A and B are shown apart, each in its own frame.
Chain A
Amino acid sequence: MQQVLMKVENVSKSYQMGEVSVNALQNADFELYEGEFVVILGPSGSGKSTLLNIMGGMDLPTEGRILVKDEEITGYNDRKLTAYRREKVGFVFQFYNLMANLTARENVELATEICKGALNIDDVMAEVGLGDRKDYFPSQMSGGEQQRVAIARAVAKNPLLLLCDEPTGALDFQTGILILELLHKINKTFNKTVVIITHNMAIGDMGDRVIKMRSGKIVEIKVNQNPIPPERIEW
């Protein structure tokens, strides 16, 4: 039986917009296992990012609890939540979001210098295929290369959990596949739990499980008996 890493218990999030309240997320309830590759799938506005942010301790739910290894993070204060993000979670963003005036290597160090038990930076950089671009500034790199730096930045912290919000959203098909291969490799070699968000159905095929969302609700959790490797994905 797989170890439970995170328990999402009946989590809801609503935004108050003047008179009306928007239910961005309603009663999400599932478990996340160690070492699995999960794909969250759904159309735009269905609440994917909202769920991911709450899981990553970047936002708080209006209702429900989240337990990470039996510790409730939803009750954390700001300081503890910050520590949780620092030590346990790695983020990858759609638009890479690197610091423009830091080099690739420095961007990675920015994340590792504040957390304990970080991996060797050069190894990680080599792993993501950027061994020779370490001293480049973001403006000197392509989108795909920048996303690799972002992944290195998330991985080098050696987090429990890698959360990626549309990591291929800004990339072309070829480069997107390469990034997915990288995430897949990290999932397998470091045995890291990876959650990626996408609205691309085809990507769902590579996940161990697929969480399908629509208008703030989880409509289906599908278990893939035989996930296909990313290089065979077509869309």
Chain B
Amino acid sequence: MKKLDIRLLRMIKHSKGQFISVVVIVAVALLIYMLFNVTSINIRSAVDNYYALTNLNDIHIQLVKIPKGALSELLTIEGVKTVQGRVSFDVPLQVENKDERVNIRLISIPPDEEKINILYRLSGKRAKLGIDNAFLLEQFAKARNIGPGDKLSPKINGRVHELSVSGIAASSEFIYLMENEQAIMPVPEKFGVAFVSEEFAQSVSGYGGSYNELLVIVEDESKMDDVIDRLEKKLDKYGVKRMIERKDQLSHNVLIQKMDGVEKMATILPVMFLSVGAIIISIMLSRIVQNDRMAIGVLKALGYSNLSIMSHYTKYVLAIGMIGSFIGITGGLLLAGPFSQLFAVYFNIPLIRIGIYYGFIISALILTSVFCILSGLIGARSVLRIMPADSMRPEAPKSGKRILLERIVFLWRRVAFSWKMVIRNIMRNKRRFAFLVLGLALAYAINTVPLFEAEAFTDIFELQFGQYQKMDYTIEFSRPMNKQVIKDLSHLIDASIMEPELKFPFELKNGWREKTTGVIGLPRSTRLYEFRNSQDVKVTLPEKGFFITEALSKTLQVKKGDRITIKNFVPGKDDIVITVSDVIKQYLGANAYMDIEAMQELLADQQMITGVSMKSQDEVKEKLKDVYNISAVNSVADMKNSFMEYLDTMYVAIVFYLVFGGILGFAIIYNATIIGIAERNMEFASLRVMGFDKKDIFRMVNRENFVMTFIAILVGMPIGLGMINGIINAFSTDIITFPKIIAPSIFINAAAATIFFVVIAQLAARRKIYTMNFIDALKSRIS
């Protein structure tokens, strides 16, 4: 082996701790990169595969009623490949616990094999569906522990029916099982789907011989818009309520957003890690080069070229990069399999093929190479400035300058001697200090993100259901009613406030931008809803015009005072143009609000309501459980409970991030300390000779790191804030808008986490100080 390489190996062996800590950073960066990207690709391809296998619909149409016979006519529409009709409606399910409210969606499937949205992995052999049996969706069956042979008791129009479960199935339409857009997360034990025969569905729902939903497969996905236009025209007379393209389909949409999130993290985290790694590497290397000044002079005197000396030092970085990327990539690939499986199970996606994606290996290697070579060159570039004649000269005395603070004499005099040393030392190498502070600030900023998320989720819930919506229950009717029903309800239930609601999905349009959303009509004097505009000023519903949420205003690109079109699906009603009176805050879901009377007049029918919201301490669920025409009773308390459970799973992610930030903080402080010690060997040795003991020196180093951490936390705050704002923008969806409420506790807790890892790094570095041989330091002249 080349003697220079031997020297390199011994150098690495000598600074094991430093070397390993940087290798860990590179390895973690690449592990995250590989793991997240490969998992995301695996899931995406599994999902696509699953969609193809089960022939998931391209368009999902909800309409008032369409006779079976009209379907064949639709097939003649240009671009339509297949059409399948079905009856779908949500009903309460009777369960053992009388207080528990469980809803189930009954969906009819064709008597012969389904052509679209084919059920998957139907357990056992396929039983024939009749009027007394059903297939049950897997997630729901699992969550409620229902198996084949068990009985389901849906309550349809006030009558309890009995269906026996003949099989359990998965459906690509419900990968992510959510009741509606307003749900924050899936609650599979509260909402399920059962597939029943057309015969049964039509007979119990009053849709005899017709459907209320259509599933469409198009010939060519790129011509989707044209097909939708043609379908819309054709179906107008059947009262189209909603046309949902696949990209807007609830389960698909959430899934894609999750994957997008994973992929964003797959880039952001590794780049941050590698940046911090590069900072440490370049500082470490320039320290080594500086220390090796004379050795480099000797090498040059011996006739080694600049290139071979540079590559000697760059190999150090290369070794870090190679070992780190090997561990990271292999680890990432190994973990990607189980991780993808885990995701697949979580999302209930069957058939996961785990691929090896060479592209990612290559881009991971390119990414590492760029960072390593860059930091290597930055760190080793001073090799070029060293002259061979330097080998002859004793070490150049370090330039000692007075620092600014010293000029402010009366202040400087007040500083204790040990602090003077600390401050001088920091000022001695300002640029390096700045780099280290930056790296530590990044580590700190990473810590703020998960803390913000945890905080935000709690805030979202408390704002939405504490301040913006004050009701205890919302009741949805199975069909629109006259507002007189409120009187009937108030006889039944003891409620302090009871208000009518009118809610319909409409398509809002601004130019080519469009969005289907629930428009909610409320009494203008509502006491259950509070509206606050973007400036956080309380506003009340206008007589004319309407409110939209911030999320909607972003999607539609409209602001206060703009006019937009509401497309009306209700047969016999015209589209209307309406003014946006204000943009309001809403964190869960994205709705539009207007005066209920105006809405009845413009978009629906006089006196029509679709639900009621109320404030009540009464046994609402119990009292309403047998009431005719009620499809759902939602209790805010129930939602709160399931939300809290969901938060628990988030804590795992938070711990993950804190550990990531911690690894970075540790590596920075550990390396900075070791480098600092090595550099000031002579100085410390002299101090030791003067009678300072180990503890004094350790305390001095401690103080420097403390100052560094303190400044890094200050610098990290705006960086964290920036990252949080990035999260707010990047991860806010139609379903959740992150509030821009940033509690000080986030920054305090992140600081605590950072300090914790700094302390650990200090303790690890302490050994080096305690075992330092100061006699050697005084003797040696060259490394």
Which A residues fall within an 8 A CB radius of B? 49, 53, 56, 58-59, 78-79, 82-87, 89, 91, 93-95, 97-102, 106-107, 109-111, 113-115, 139, 153, 157, 165
The answer to whether A58 touches B7 (Cβ under 8 A) is: no
Question: Is B222 at the interface (CB under 8 A from chain A)?
Answer: no
B396: interface (CB < 8 Å): no
A53 touches B392 (CB 8 A): yes
Top 7 closest A-B pairs, CB basis? A86-B303, A58-B388, A101-B10, A85-B303, A110-B3, A53-B389, A58-B389
Instruction: Answer whether residue B304 sits at the interface, using C-beta atoms and an 8 A cutoff.
Output: yes
B496 at the binding interface (Cβ < 8 Å): no
> Is the beta-carbon distance between A97 and B305 smaller than 8 angstroms?
no
Query: Is there contact, CB below 8 Å, between B2 and A113?
Result: yes
When distances are taken between beta carbons in the complex, the residues of chain A under 8 Å from B6 are 102, 106
Some 13 contacts from A to B, beta carbons below 8 A apart, are A53-B392, A85-B300, A85-B302, A91-B298, A98-B782, A101-B783, A106-B3, A106-B6, A111-B303, A113-B2, A114-B302, A114-B303, A153-B302
Q: Which residues of B contact A94 (CB under 8 A)?
A: 392
User: Are B392 and A49 neighbours in the complex by a CB distance under 8 Å?
Assistant: yes
CB of B387 within 8 Å of the partner chain: yes
Rounded to whole Å, the gap between the CB of B781 and the closest CB of chain A is 6
Q: Is the interface on chain B under 10, 10 to 19, 20 to 34, or 35 or more residues?
A: 20 to 34
- Rounded to whole angstroms, the CA-CA distance of A87 and B781 in the bound complex is 27
Q: How far is the CB of A156 from chain B (nearest CB, A)?
A: 11
| CB < 8 Å A-B pair total | 93
For A99, list chain B residues within 8 Å (CB).
7, 295, 298, 782
The residue from B297, B303, B781 contacting A83, defined by CB atoms under 8 A apart: B303
Interface centre among A82, A85, A86, A153 (most CB of B within 10 A): A82
Which of B7, B300, B781 is within 8 Å of A82, CB to CB? Answer: B300
Per the bound structure, the CA–CA distance linking A79 and B303 in Å amounts to: 9
When A53-B389, A58-B389, A109-B3 are in contact, do A95 and B303 touch as well, CB less than 8 Å? no
Docked-complex contact A97 and B388, CB < 8 angstroms:
no
Question: 0/1 per residue, B372-403, Cβ < 8 Å to A?
Answer: 00000000000000011101101000000000
In the bound complex, CA of A111 to CA of B388 (Å): 14
Q: Is B730 an interface residue (CB 8 A)?
A: no
Q: A87-B303, A91-B302, A97-B782 are in contact. Are A102 and B3 (CB under 8 A)?
A: yes
- Minimum CB–CB distance from A157 to chain B (whole Å) comes to 8
CA–CA, A111 and B302, complex, Å: 6
Q: Quick one: given A58-B387, A93-B392, are A114 and B304 in contact (CB under 8 Å)? A: yes
Q: Which of A58, A59, A98 has the most CB of B within 10 A?
A: A58
Complex contact A110–B392 (CB within 8 A): no
Q: Which residue of B lies closest to A58 (CB)?
A: B388
Which residue of A87, A106, A107, A157 has the most chain B CB atoms within 10 A of its CB atom?
Answer: A106
Q: Is the CB of B303 within 8 A of A82?
A: yes
Give the residues in chain A near B302, CB-CB below 8 Å. 85-86, 91, 110-111, 114, 153, 157
Inter-chain contact B298/A97, CB cutoff 8 Å: yes
Determine the distance from Cα of A4 to Cα of B4 in the docked complex, in whole angstroms: 36
Most buried by A among B2, B3, B389: B3
A58, B303: Cβ atoms under 8 Å? no
Residue ID in chain A nearest B394 by CB atoms: A95
A101 touching B7, Cβ below 8 Å: yes
B303 adjacent to A97 (CB under 8 Å): no
CB distance from A160 to the nearest CB of B (A): 13
Return the contact of B388 from the options A83, A85, A139, A153 (Cβ within 8 A).
A85
Which single residue of chain B is at the shortest CB-CB distance from A154? B302
Distance between Cα atoms of A93 and B301 in the complex (Å): 10
Question: Could you tell me if B389 and A139 are in contact, using CB atoms closer than 8 angstroms?
Answer: no
Tell me, in angstroms, the Cα distance from A78 to B305 when the chains sit together: 9
A93 B780 Cβ-Cβ under 8 A: no
B233 within 8 A of A: no
Proximity string of chain B (59-79) to chain A, C-beta cutoff 8 Å, 1 when within and 0 when not = 000000000000000000000
B14 at interface by CB-CB < 8 Å: yes
Q: A82 and B780 in contact (CB under 8 A), knowing A53-B392, A58-B387, A93-B391?
A: no
Q: Is the CB of B303 within 8 A of A101?
A: no
Q: Please, which residue of chain B has its CB at the minimum distance from the CB of A52?
A: B392
Residue of A nearest to B8 (CB): A101
User: Once the chains are docked, how many angstroms separate the CA of A84 from the CA of B3?
Assistant: 21
Point out the residues of chain B lying under 8 angstroms from A111, CB to CB: 302-303
Closest A residue to B2 using CB positions: A113
In the complex, are the beta carbons of B392 and A165 less than 8 A apart? yes
Whether B303 contacts A93 by the Cβ 8 Å rule is no
The complex places the Cα of A89 from the Cα of B306 at a distance, in Å, of: 18
Query: Does chain A have a CB within 8 A of B27?
Result: no
A13 to B294, CA, bound (A): 22
- Residues of B near A89 (CB, < 8 A) are 303
Q: Please measure, in the bound complex, the distance between the C-alpha atom of A58 and the C-alpha atom of B295, giving whole angstroms.
A: 14
Q: Per-residue 0/1 for B768-783: is the Cβ within 8 Å of any A Cβ (1 yes, 0 no)?
A: 0000000010001111
In contact, B301 and A56 (Cβ under 8 angstroms)? yes
Cβ-based interface call for B489 (8 A): no
Bound Cα distance from A111 to B303, whole angstroms: 8
Pair A97/B391 contact, Cβ less than 8 Å: yes
| Nearest CB on B from A104, distance (A) | 12
Q: Which residues of A contact B391 (CB under 8 A)?
A: 58, 91, 93, 97
Which of B3, B14, B298, B301 makes the CB contact (< 8 A) with A113? B3
From A90, which residue of chain B is reached at the shortest CB distance?
A: B302
- In the docked arrangement, what's the CA distance between A53 and B391, Å? 10
* CB contact between B301 and one of A58, A79, A101 (< 8 Å): that residue: A58
B753 vs chain A, min Cβ distance (A): 38
A91: which of B3, B301, B780 is its contact (CB, 8 Å)? B301
